[in-house]
Structures are given as structure tokens and as C-alpha cells.
Amino acid sequence: MIFITAKFQVQPADADSWPEITRSFTAATRAEAGCLWFDWSRSLDDANEYVLVEAFADGDAAATHVQSDHFRQAQHDLPRHLVATPKIVNFQIDQQDWSELGEMRVS
């Protein structure tokens, strides 16, 4: 799978509204056949920072995502709500789902 984590530094005036600002982009991405997950979290240390954790089944699914109409629309709409260009970590890994954190196993 292609595993991606991205940090978005949102304009302070838009930080509380970020889930709504990204709602249609998020819904459309989650509906893609190759999307495994697409989840936003807000930083506990910086209320203006959101972290996106996303995964796609393979490189083809990731390519389909970045070529989609909703991705192009997000490229147009989202930057005006940001302070800086988002930061990203992108890896191809040999699995298709989350693994258990064995060090904190719940019995």
C-alpha cells in the first residue's frame, strides 16, 4: 500500500472550520475504490495544525487519487486556507491494513 501522512498548517481564522472546509474532498476521497483510509486529526499542541493519515491500495490507486477531479478542486480551494505548503511523508509498504501495537496488547 501507499501510506501517506501530511501536516497542514491552517490559517488561524479557518482552523475551527477545517473539517467543514475539507468535507467534500474527504468524502470523495474515501469513496475512491483504492482508498483504504483518509483520516484527519487535529494537533493537541497546535490548534492550527491538522494531520492527514491516508492510505491507498497501491500506486495505481494513489495515482488515480491525485488525478481525480476532487483532488484538482482541492488543489484550487485549500491553499487559501493554509499558512504554508503542507509537509508530507509518503511510503510504499508491504501490507494492506493497520498492524496491532503488540507492546500495548489488550487482553
Q: What does the domain layout of the chain look like in residue ranges?
A: 2-94
Q: What is the pLDDT of residue 93?
A: 95
Question: What is the share, in percent, of the chain residues with pLDDT greater than 70?
Answer: 100
When pLDDT is averaged across residues 84-91 and rounded to a whole number, the result is 98
Three cell numbers written together for 75? 488543489
Average pLDDT, the chain: 97
Q: What is the average pLDDT across 76-80?
A: 98
pLDDT for 107 beyond 90? no
Q: Give tens-digit pLDDT for 25-48.
A: 999 999 999 999 999 999 999 999
CB < 8 Å & 24+ apart, contacts of 47-50: 47/15, 48/9, 48/10, 48/11, 48/12, 48/15, 48/83, 49/7, 49/8, 49/9, 49/10, 50/7, 50/8, 50/10, 50/15, 50/18
- Compute the average pLDDT of residues 56-80: 97
**DSSP state, residue 73:** H
Class of domain 2-94: alpha beta
